[in-house]
Amino acid sequence: MTKRLLLLLFIGAASFASSAQDGYWQQNVNYCMDIDFNAENHTFQGAQSLVYTNNSPDTLDHVFYHLYFNAFQPGSMMDVRSRTIADPDPRIADRINNLQPNEIGFHKIEKLTQDGEKVTFSVEGTVAEVQLAQPLLPRKSTTFEMKFNSQVPIQIRRSGRNNEEGVDYTLTQWYPKLAEYDRDGWHSEPYVSREFHGVFGTFEVDITIDSKYTLAGTGIVQNPNEVGHGYSETTPASEKTTWKFKAENVHDFAWAADAEYTHLQSTLSNGTELHFFHRNDSIINQSWTRLVPFTEQLFNIMNDKFGVYPYAQFSVIQGGDGGMEYPMCTMISGTGSFGGLVSVTVHEAIHNWYYGVLASNEQKYPWMDEGFTTFAQNIVLDSLFKRNNLNPQERSQRSYISNALSGKEEPLSTGADYYETNRAYGSNAYSKGCVFLDQLSGIVGQETFDQAIMRYFNQWKFKHPTPLDFKRIMEKASNMELDWYFDAWIGTTKTIDYGIHTVTSSGKKTIIEIQRIGSLAMPLELKVTSEKGVQYSYIPLEIMRGAKPAPNEISKDWKQENDWPWAYPFYRVELTIPFESIKRIELDPFQKIADLDSKNDAFPSGNISFPPK
């Protein structure tokens, strides 16, 4: 066999393997952008050449572009939503409504062609709908050439100029961006407040800007020697420098520019480069220097537990407005406590796993990026600060429980923009999404979970996984059925509450009667401490069609009980321990379940007569 034939066979096998994944397909983009930036009036001229490949089985006769900057205008959907939602975000409130003409943002498309032919398009708010000159057939590519001009708004969540920390430019959601068409159809959502979805591909972005600025962003600078460190005393203020960035296998491109950026750098043992850009200020300099080793550790832990960061470089950039994730970089506030700085860096960097690489549709499944990120963040922070919490996810559990008890909870399946309150969105996306994973690790067992979460990363990297894709990975890894959990936790607001109903003496035995009070059934663990020592009872649900193995550390004290058919409100555990020698019985001793009422979870407790009659 020739080498060439071998190679072809190999490619054939590889593409078969990926198409065997449900016949999965996704679109591809190749952007080349030339940006001429005018820092005097905060505007820029853009030339965008975009090669779009239709890998779908469908013929497309139109496409959409997001024009995010148009949101920063009085009367935009984002403005109105920010003012009329029940609990306005004070960081936005009426700020958009008060913008002056020279402070608003906009994109104006001056010219757009498809393979040289003019196309017609209409703009509605933050979306341009383009009728193609020629239909785009399956597995064909087409080239869009666009000329546009844009004005950078005053920074308001999360893009813009002159933010409160003094960063000159945070350019995020800053260019006309093709909307994604995927297995689930078109996603041309207007920009209302949050969350994104984009097409994977290559970005080559040349930005010509006053030489006094240092730039940082997605991708890798292709001409580092030419741009040097930006400003030098001998550079005339009027002179411009062109920064050439290139990024591959990403679905967005963001950048920032400041005349006073200080640049720190470090390289991980596996070669990944970490870059830090912050404003030059004695307090910030100190805290960001301390941040470097924490960021190194964070990448090492993530690589080890959740999948290896696949890009050559990552940049932590002071963008001056909270924290927000972008491929290969993050924009975060630079000031505040050191603990806060580490926490936000950890959170936003982890988004490169859950958002950047595993690019679930954030609008439809905001919890698949925020919840998964929060879950890993809690584990990483627990390790960085050596907290050794019994359950590092406890805070997220409490936050979820408080929302569930508030009466304002909405199903986790609610689209990010469609929540009635910002609070319900935040609690669901971050906390309920995090608890989803924590409970799942309790259901399938820690070792299985750890292997499967890594498999999920490797199997779905650079793709758009959905909850179903994740469920299949977990089901195969655990050999369990998990619909009952995924469907209820994601699609409903059913809650969990178990209680120890009675504990009674029966000769030399003790009978524990457990009650399912909540509407959502879960497998249970029970810890019994007696004069004989400690033992655990594990009660799988019948509907799981499986059971997790005994955890290694406690396998000799572990007893698997009969399955619990979930419809039964009560379940009996028979202990071969005399009642008199029992010291304590606890439900869910590892705190893996978001049980709404913990008062009935232990015996003895005030709610149960002791000793029973």
Q: Of the two residues 106 and 196, which places its CB atom closer to Zn ion in the complex? A: 196
* Residues 6+ away with beta carbon under 8 Å from 440: 449, 474, 482, 485
Nearest distance from residue 344's CB to Zn ion, in Å?
A: 9
Q: Which residue is nearest to Zn ion (CB)?
A: 370
Nearest distance from residue 370's CB to Zn ion, in Å?
A: 5
Q: Of the two residues 315 and 537, which places its CB atom closer to Zn ion in the complex? A: 315
Binding mask 327-366 for Zn ion (x = CB under 5 A): ----------------------------------------
Nearest distance from residue 251's CB to Zn ion, in Å?
A: 16
Choices 26-34, 262-270, 367-375, 482-490; region in contact with Zn ion by CB under 5 A: 367-375
> How many other C-beta atoms can be found within 10 angstroms of the C-beta atom of residue 600?
20
Q: Of the two residues 44 and 470, which places its CB atom closer to Zn ion in the complex? A: 470
Nearest distance from residue 313's CB to Zn ion, in Å?
A: 21
Choices 46-54, 370-378, 449-457, 563-571; region in contact with Zn ion by CB under 5 A: 370-378
Amino acid identity, position 44: F
Nearest distance from residue 207's CB to Zn ion, in Å?
A: 26
Choices 176-184, 278-286, 369-377, 526-534; region in contact with Zn ion by CB under 5 A: 369-377
Q: Of the two residues 67 and 434, which places its CB atom closer to Zn ion in the complex? A: 434
Nearest distance from residue 366's CB to Zn ion, in Å?
A: 9
Question: How far, in Å, CA of 513 to CA of 501, rounded?
Answer: 5
Q: Of the two residues 73 and 352, which places its CB atom closer to Zn ion in the complex? A: 352
Q: Which of residues 14-73 bind Zn ion (CB under 5 A)?
A: none
Q: Of the two residues 192 and 259, which places its CB atom closer to Zn ion in the complex? A: 192
Q: Of the two residues 64 and 367, which places its CB atom closer to Zn ion in the complex? A: 367
290 pairs with which residues across the strands? none
Nearest distance from residue 105's CB to Zn ion, in Å?
A: 23
> How many other C-beta atoms can be found within 10 angstroms of the C-beta atom of residue 431?
26
Cβ 218 vs Cβ 252: under 8 Å: yes
Question: How far, in Å, CA of 425 to CA of 415, rounded?
Answer: 9
Q: Is 165 helix (H, G, I), strand (E, B) or coil?
A: coil
Question: How far, in Å, CA of 451 to CA of 456, rounded?
Answer: 9
* Residues 6+ away with beta carbon under 8 Å from 471: 482, 483, 486
Nearest distance from residue 245's CB to Zn ion, in Å?
A: 24
Q: Is 383 helix (H, G, I), strand (E, B) or coil?
A: helix
Nearest distance from residue 423's CB to Zn ion, in Å?
A: 16
Q: Of the two residues 333 and 448, which places its CB atom closer to Zn ion in the complex? A: 333
> How many other C-beta atoms can be found within 10 angstroms of the C-beta atom of residue 437?
22
* Residues 6+ away with beta carbon under 8 Å from 160: 72, 105, 152, 153, 154, 169, 170
Radius of gyration of the chain measured on its C-alpha atoms: 27
Structure tokens at 171: 């350019």
214 pairs with which residues across the strands? 258
Nearest distance from residue 433's CB to Zn ion, in Å?
A: 10
Q: Of the two residues 339 and 611, which places its CB atom closer to Zn ion in the complex? A: 339
202 pairs with which residues across the strands? 30
**Number of amino acids touching Zn ion (CB under 5 A):** 1
Amino acid identity, position 399: S
Q: Of the two residues 326 and 603, which places its CB atom closer to Zn ion in the complex? A: 326
208 pairs with which residues across the strands? 36, 242
> How many other C-beta atoms can be found within 10 angstroms of the C-beta atom of residue 46?
22
Characterize the bridge pairing of strands 313-318 and 329-332: parallel
Choices 20-28, 359-367, 368-376, 407-415; region in contact with Zn ion by CB under 5 A: 368-376
Q: Which residues bind Zn ion (CB under 5 A)?
A: 370
